[in-house]
Structure 1
């Protein structure tokens, strides 16, 4: 079913200029008045892409005007043609076509919004954030000014002249800091949102500046290697060569340097020595904590026999948690060698006295072995996660109930915050990144994880696309923390990092990300673990268990760093600082939503 002009004589008919229809009907011939041609014209000619409802209503209203003979000297076949176009939209076939047009149009509309967000964040980066030394100068100048006022009567004219000359350096131009602004901490986040509403300058009060100030560059601006190469600049140059149609498949597009080596194109930009230097620098900040004897505190038993209690606890004190784990796996190895008829029951007998956590891990291994016995050749992503990877992750990381664990198709808290931070309240909110599980503490997403398919193993493109999603989500976590703790010294904030888990098939990869410099985030591979595929390989699970225990200790370390940052941000108010050190939040090409290339439905 389609609307067709009943005569070829009016195929080239256009609406006269004096009528109130949309300009498209005055330029386009009647044979091109269908919705797909109209949408193509709007996307190409409109400077600002309007919402679907506005564009579709313009098309309908114009057709109604023509169909109701509101157009002077409109032929009858034209009015009937317009009525047919409107009637088809109410049919099932027409509804399906209209829905397809709406979905594709919304993709372009969303892309336009993302570009606007990109420009606003660039504006935010260039106008709001100031240099560390400049803020320190303002605080020192304000303090010395107060001292000078208190001692004004006691000071001689020569002393005043000396103080005046300290702040006037003739060899530095006064235009050096023209346009710099320093903002109050309380208004920082609200200013981020306010910038979306108008192009006017922020209403935050500008602090008066001296005519001449000498300021050193911030250490957060760039990462310079020992060879003199600027990593940020190299990544920026590479970003300019990325094809726009596939930009979302490159970590560098989002300002992320993948030190795991999987991004081979970026790795070729550096020599082997430079690459080793970057990885070594990354390890100085990011590390998996080792299991130490001090981390294991022997637990009291509830048995009534006091003598047995004392003996058990003394034995526990002599062994570290790591040694107890190795004892457990030694017992499991002996049980497997005996080839029992019921392996699950045999593992259950491998108890470690005096440590409930080790015995809890044993029960997790039992569950893993039980699920392996019933493993099928083909299994869904959710079922594999619940039976194997997520089951172990949740059981170990949440044993002390200190960290909160969520799983499913979860929306990223940080990504949603960053994506909507510059939108109007009347705009449609965006979801941001999503992942399969997360571990949080005080709403800080310490661990986020993505699973790429079930069994058989996912293809390479699916795994790479999910890894990109994981990188962007981890970057957004650090961005939100930087905004909430704005004003903290850059050197302190560089100590913070977050952990990501990417699993596919029987592999479990642990990554970490930190924020090295302006617009540059580093992703490194901490551990790559292979899971057992049958009970004959069950002892391979030892590496994963040890990795998860080390992650648990690392999370405690990350929590300490984050709490220290929050305290330092609070003490900015305690010291009555009206101006703070604001870091640069460059998000590179920003939050362009990754979309699939759909078929061109505009074509006939």
Structure 2
């Protein structure tokens, strides 16, 4: 199990497209201009036709669409960077930079993205499991970014992220606590998934949870002269999207194996065919009698 984890928990390498290199080569040329406003206007004029002329290539419709995505993201980043007035809160920083890039670079048709102070659904389910019905429900582990796989039958929360403060940077204890919170949420996501697919015996470790900490080792552009650094972020997010697609296929295959186990059980043990469980959930236990029941404090 440890060996499988070490071999499989990693980002899947995506194909690097030459059009990304073409675009950021042009951005590097633009950065030699002195005035910041001129830089933004020059990047805005980097149309696919201009890049075809400068790079002496012929672009496909897909490559032209990638250039449009990159141009809009870089311009938005540059405009947000111009408006930064320190100190800046965690929420404002996230929405202006990391969350903005995630929404631009990740596929919204595959991933439902939620931002701000939100709860992990799997963590909320885990905390309230077996809790008395008369007590207030507990919220799940908080996160700042959540990506749910739309095409996963279990609606798996495959991407969650926490940012430790805004600018200036927070104290070290906050960073440590956020790492613990991410680990707890990851545990709850795994627990919930395998509880719903308890009949799937083929246990393959996969990259179930990738959090925004994967970008912590990359330097974000802090001036308009360094906007070409965003190339590394685009490459990282394309690897991330490829990995999320792999996770979606893997989880659906586990759910299918879980369904097959119900079929096999029905054939081998017809008398148990009417039992509930698995994908449909296990029936809740009868509540304890009121006599002697101890209620928790709110």
TM-score normalised by length of structure 2 = 0.78
What does residue 290 of structure 1 align with? 13
Is the contact between residue 11 and residue 240 of structure 2 (CA under 8 Å) also seen in structure 1? yes
1:353-368 equivalences under 5 Å are 353=59, 354=61, 355-368=64-77
2:156 maps to 1:456: no
2:97 maps to 1:388: yes
Is the contact between residue 452 and residue 463 of structure 1 (CA under 8 Å) also seen in structure 2? yes
2:144 maps to 1:436: yes
What does residue 133 of structure 1 align with? none
What does residue 47 of structure 2 align with? 351
2:17 maps to 1:322: yes
What does residue 501 of structure 1 align with? 212
What does residue 338 of structure 1 align with? 33
Q: 1:474 to 1:432 in 2, by over 3 A?
A: same
Cα offset, 1:559, TM superposition? 0.3
SS state at 2:265 partner: coil
What does residue 376 of structure 1 align with? 85
SS state at 2:221 partner: coil
Cα offset, 1:390, TM superposition? 0.4
SS state at 2:131 partner: coil
What does residue 562 of structure 1 align with? 251
Cα offset, 1:350, TM superposition? 1.9
Q: 1:325 to 1:532 in 2, by over 3 A?
A: same
Larger radius of gyration: 1
Q: 1:496 to 1:466 in 2, by over 3 A?
A: closer
* Partner deviation per Cα, 1:154-199 (whole Å, 9 max, x = no partner): xxxxxxxxxxxxxxxxxxxxxxxxxxxxxxxxxxxxxxxxxxxxxx
Cα offset, 1:342, TM superposition? 1.6
Is the contact between residue 5 and residue 206 of structure 2 (CA under 8 Å) also seen in structure 1? no
Please give the alpha-carbon distance, in whole angstroms, between the structure 2 residues aligned to 1:473 and 1:373.
35
Please give the alpha-carbon distance, in whole angstroms, between the structure 1 residues aligned to 2:211 and 2:241.
13
Please give the alpha-carbon distance, in whole angstroms, between the structure 2 residues aligned to 1:282 and 1:351.
44
Cα offset, 1:576, TM superposition? 2.6
Cα offset, 1:283, TM superposition? 4.0
Task: Return the match for 2:232 from 543, 550, 557.
Answer: 543
1:152-191 equivalences under 5 Å are none
Q: How many residues end up aligned between the 2 structures? A: 251
Return the structure number with greater relative CO, CA threshold 8 A, min gap 6.
2
SS state at 1:497 partner: coil
Please give the alpha-carbon distance, in whole angstroms, between the structure 2 residues aligned to 1:562 and 1:496.
11
Task: Return the match for 2:157 from 437, 445, 448.
Answer: 445
Please give the alpha-carbon distance, in whole angstroms, between the structure 2 residues aligned to 1:348 and 1:531.
20
1:66-215 equivalences under 5 Å are none
Runs of 4+ in 1 over 3 A off after TM superposition: 338-341
Task: Return the match for 2:223 from 534, 540, 555.
Answer: 534
SS state at 2:127 partner: helix
What does residue 296 of structure 2 align with? none
Is the contact between residue 10 and residue 207 of structure 2 (CA under 8 Å) also seen in structure 1? no
What does residue 411 of structure 1 align with? 119
* Partner deviation per Cα, 1:489-530 (whole Å, 9 max, x = no partner): 2433x2362211138xxxx33xxxxxxxxxxxxxxxxxx222
Is the contact between residue 32 and residue 225 of structure 2 (CA under 8 Å) also seen in structure 1? no
Task: Return the match for 2:199 from 473, 487, 495.
Answer: 487
Cα offset, 1:377, TM superposition? 2.4
The runs of 5 or more residues in structure 2 that have no matched partner are 49-58, 273-277, 279-298
SS state at 2:114 partner: strand
